[in-house]
Structure 1
């Protein structure tokens, strides 16, 4: 009969038990999941049962992790993702969330750019942990990604992006996520990329502060090379700060638009 073991399909003997499978495929597994539920007692398997064998703290091999991603994304989607490089300009509330989401789906490479360090005030909306306080954001995010998907290639650049260096920094990526706090930096990046390159695409954001409706966060196509995400109104100000819910909604709009572009979908 056919069963799934760690997302791969196998044929096993009739009346095979879960512990038979564990002993055959992963003797040192600490956790056994049957059809989505952890079990402690042995059971006889049925046709099409799904078994997941986990050793706590063990890093899956690249082959195992890729197979798990393929089983979720389907092969054609994952093949495109693992070949793509994406740049992220700024690793604050937007950039750190985008980096994590793209890492989880198995993006091939990330070029992460920031010059700042992790401060206590960042923890209300950014994807850092207390242990990262005082670390460069580039180093902290590289560490986090290694614990999410160690097979994503990560290039970090501890730099302040200016008109003079932006083209060199992102010369090897086709999609750039604009994730700055500063309107001046946003404008400089967008202007340089759109006027001095022919095919690079920017996914930018504007208006994500406060606790306003989630439904006002939208993805807007300005043209084939520029997408703007947010409500375009609610920037941070007194009584309407940047907080995790709306910031992460906006960031994941950005990550999803990046995914759509990789898959050839240019409409929002």
Structure 2
């Protein structure tokens, strides 16, 4: 009889019970999830039942986490995602959210670039917490990602992006997410990659301020290696600030564009 324990397939004898599984696989489990419901009593297992055994506070092994990701993505998808390196320029509202989304899906490597520190005003839309105030954003985002997926490969660069640093910062990336605030440096990065690093794909942003309709934020393919996310209209100004829901929607578009590009669906 086939059952699944922590997403792994096991062939077990008929009349095997949940407690048999716990005893043989993870005696010290504090919580037993049976077919998506926590249970305390013993249960006789049936074909294709799913059991999750959890020890509170324990970090899953790399193998366990990979099994969980594969079970959600399918093996073909997960193996592709593991092969790619994504660089994120700027770790504010867009970049911090996109970084966590990509870490959660198991992207192979993230290159995370920002020179700034976390300040209280960042908490309205960026993926940081009070404990991170005063930390470099590169260190703060690394701390968060390690609590989501400790096995994704991370490279952090606490550097300012200018014409002298672009090549060294992005040379190892397959895909670049532009998540900068300053229009001058957004244009500098996009133009540099389009003109001098044509083997890279860049996903840039334009317009996600305020609380307008979510549906006006879209992903557009501008060129073979250039995608633009946003509504191309809204900008931050009095009465139309940067707010968490809309910024996160745009960040989701950027992260999802990465997945669609890798999986050849865009």
> TM-score scaled to structure 2, two decimals?
0.98
Structure 1 runs of 4+ off > 4 angstroms? none
Matches within 5 A, 1:38-49: 38-49=38-49
1:207 paired to 2:207 = yes
- Counting matched residue pairs gives 266
Shift of 1:55: 0.9
Q: Tell me, in whole angstroms, the C-alpha distance in 2 between the residues paired with 1:83 and 1:60.
A: 22
Matches within 5 A, 1:153-168: 153-168=153-168
- 2:135 is paired with a residue of what secondary structure? coil
Matches within 5 A, 1:27-66: 27-66=27-66
Q: Tell me, in whole angstroms, the C-alpha distance in 1 between the residues paired with 2:202 and 2:84.
A: 15
- 1:112 is paired with a residue of what secondary structure? strand
- 2:147 is paired with a residue of what secondary structure? helix
Shift of 1:177: 0.2
Matches within 5 A, 1:1-268: 1-265=1-265, 267=266
Shift of 1:149: 0.7
- 1:242 is paired with a residue of what secondary structure? coil
RMSD of aligned residue pairs (Cα, Å) = 0.9
Shift of 1:264: 2.4
Q: Tell me, in whole angstroms, the C-alpha distance in 2 between the residues paired with 1:50 and 1:30.
A: 17
Output one character per residue of 1:152-209: Cα deviation in whole Å (capped at 9) or x when no partner. 1111111110011111110111210000111111001011111112211110111101
Q: Tell me, in whole angstroms, the C-alpha distance in 2 between the residues paired with 1:182 and 1:137.
A: 17
> TM-score scaled to structure 1, two decimals?
0.97
Unpaired runs of 5+ residues, structure 1, are none
Output one character per residue of 1:64-85: Cα deviation in whole Å (capped at 9) or x when no partner. 1111111111111111111111
Unpaired runs of 5+ residues, structure 2, are none
Output one character per residue of 1:66-112: Cα deviation in whole Å (capped at 9) or x when no partner. 11111111111111111111100000000000000000000111110
Q: Tell me, in whole angstroms, the C-alpha distance in 1 between the residues paired with 2:197 and 2:96.
A: 26
- 1:103 is paired with a residue of what secondary structure? helix
Q: Tell me, in whole angstroms, the C-alpha distance in 2 between the residues paired with 1:200 and 1:48.
A: 43
